[in-house]
Amino acid sequence: MTSSPENSTPKGITLSPGAVRRLLAMMKEQKAPEAGLRIAVKGGGCNGLSYVLEWATAPREKDKIFERDGARVFIDSKSLLFLNGTEVHYEESFMASAFKLNNPNVKGTCGCGESFSV
């Protein structure tokens, strides 16, 4: 059975309902309606690549913007090559709260979970 390219290659970034709620709360707290979560991939770590997540008050000129219900994520085009199809989640537990990335492109991760390979 063969699949067509448009069905086999996910496009863009998706946000879970929890990620949307947290991002909207951050935007409200910061009084920054143009703000969003910047996600980038940089070289480094024991497996070759690592994620960089930071709060951004506005997108950069060449950022790709992914939005759901007003919550926004900014990604540069180089990082998008590694992040295409990623689902962004926000998880809260007794010990920690954090954004988590479910990246279908990852082929391996290190023991500490801080870096990955594709």
Distance CA 30, CA 81 (A): 30
DSSP assignments along 74-114, one per residue: EE-HHHHHHHTT-EEEEEE-SS-EEEEEE-TT--EE-TTSS
Name which of 75, 64, 6, 85 is nearest 41 in CA terms.
Answer: 75
Give residue 95's pLDDT band: very low, low, confident or very high (50, 70, 90): confident
pTM as predicted: 0.82
101: which 2 tokens? 């990335």
Structural domains in the chain, sorted by start: 10-112 (2.60.300.12)
Say if residue 33's pLDDT is above 80.
yes
Res 49: pLDDT: 82
The phi, psi pair for 30, rounded to 5°, reads -85, -5
For 47-61, the pLDDT digits (tens) are 678 889 999 999 999
Cβ pair 105, 116 in contact under 8 A: no
In angstroms and rounded to an integer, the radius of gyration of the C-alpha atoms of the chain is: 15
Q: Which has more confidence, 8 or 97?
A: 97
Residue type present at position 103: N
Question: What number of helices (H) and strands (E) belong to the chain?
Answer: 3, 9
